[in-house]
Amino acid sequence: MSTPAWMEHAACTTLETRGLPWTIDAVEAPTVLVELMRETCAGCPVRLACAAYARTATGGWWAGVDRASEPEDLLDLLDVIPLDGAA
Ligand code: SF4
């Protein structure tokens, strides 16, 4: 399975952010690290693509939400995608 092209622009893959606990459930991570991930996602240029990609994920931190405990928040984020395809 190849890596989606949008991941090249992901804010979570920089030298400063890639060490954060992106793949564990947020309840298992220290609050300060969860807040750093939330801030990173808030400024990420590919957040909508990430949210769409993560619809099938059942855990980990995606698009600013913890998939295990906040799945509704990810669905709310997808509501802001324009229906005409303009982004
Ligand atoms: S929105 Fe997705 S791609 Fe962007 S920093 Fe967050 S987890 Fe990474």
- Could you report the per-residue pLDDT of 8-41, keeping only the tens digit for each? 999 999 999 999 999 887 788 899 999 999 999 9
- The residue ranking higher by pLDDT, 70 or 39, is 39
Residues 52 and 62 sit within 8 Å (Cβ to Cβ): no
In this predicted structure, the answer to whether residue 45 has a pLDDT above a threshold of 80 is yes
In this predicted structure, the answer to whether residue 87 has a pLDDT above a threshold of 60 is no
Identify which of 3, 37, 62, 67 to mutate to test ligand 1's pocket (most ligand atoms within 8 A of the CB): 62
Q: Which atom of ligand 1 is nearest to the CA of 22?
A: 7
In short, whether 47's Cβ falls inside 6 Å of ligand 1 is yes
Q: What is the pTM for the complete model shown?
A: 0.80
Instruction: Tell me how far the alpha carbon of residue 8 lies from the centroid of ligand 1, in angstroms.
Output: 11
Please list the alpha-helical segments (H only) found in the chain.
Answer: 31-42, 47-53, 71-78
